[in-house]
Amino acid sequence: MVLVICCCSQTMAEDTDYLQCLVIGQEADPSKARSLLRDALNAWHRGQRSEAVELYERAVIADHSVLRHEDHGLAMALLEKYRAVDSPQTVAALCRRGFFENILIGNLEESMKFYEKASETAKNPDESQLAADEAKRLREQLNYIREWQQSVIRENRILRERDRQRYIQQTAREELQNQVTEISDEVEELQERIAFLQKQEKEVMEDMYSSMRNAARYRRRYYYPGAFQQGAPDPTANLMPEGSSGSDSSIRMGQGTNPYAGQPVDGASGDVALNRFYIYRNRARREEDQLAQIRAEIVGLQRRVAERQKAGKELREKAGASPVR
């Protein structure tokens, strides 16, 4: 009878050792776990550290749902117990060390290492296989996490690069838009200048034609003095002839001298007509030069407007490019 009891006790002990490497907490007794956790916390607050850690470990083994509750430092104290230099190196202790490293602080690398060590230490093939399977599961989990982290890193790198490109493109687009605005302002100023010059062109051209008509009229009066009736006073009657660069067109050039031999000159009235002819002729020449300068400036400004409008169109097309995808 005693022999049977001893054999049964030995078998139960072996089963208990075998169960030590199972995933801890699968005893699944929440009521027992909560009671042990309450006792552990009471002991912890009374300063009974060893007893509190022992009770907390039993609570976790009873049901790992207690890990969701506030432990007030008991979890780390339990892990320090197994991390101590003089901690046991049995299969059960190694498996528990691996479990606590994983569950309490998420150290998969250390957890996997202790399960592998437990597999190598175990004499029972089933127990060794159980620890090896747990190490394999943790390794697969670790590889999955690493792959996931790498994918997250790659995705974040892609997103950062996309954001950088979008920022660069947005900055470039804003710069292009600023340039377009500057070009539009410049074109508007040029067009205002062109409008002013065109108005001047019209006025100068009218003045030039008037001067040319007056010059022609006094030229004919000089040669045909009797064909013209005396009219209203001429404002240029007391003016000296207007000179042109490189020549002397003073009153002496026309007084008493007919440039066409054999044609009569009517004394003073002929000199007055000739004087006024030179006045209007030289005025017409100056106005013609002024008109040529105005027209040249208008042409240059129109060319500049066309160039700036073309540049503005190209910049608007660049600014309207599709964003980075």
Q: What is the pLDDT of residues 136-149, one digit of tens each?
A: 988 998 899 889 98
Length of the chain: 325
Looking only at Cα atoms, what is the longest distance across the chain?
A: 175
Is 24:57 a contact under the CB 8 Å cutoff? no
Residue 69 confidence (pLDDT)? 86
d(CA 193, CA 254): 42
d(CA 119, CA 139): 14
Residue 24 confidence (pLDDT)? 58
- Structure letter (DSSP) for residue 231: -
Q: Which residues contact 7 (CB under 8 A, 6 or more apart)?
A: none
Q: What is the pLDDT of residues 191-225, one digit of tens each?
A: 999 999 999 999 999 999 999 999 998 888 888 87
- Provide the 3-class DSSP secondary structure of residue 58: helix
Compute how many other C-beta atoms are within 10 angstroms of the C-beta atom of residue 40.
26
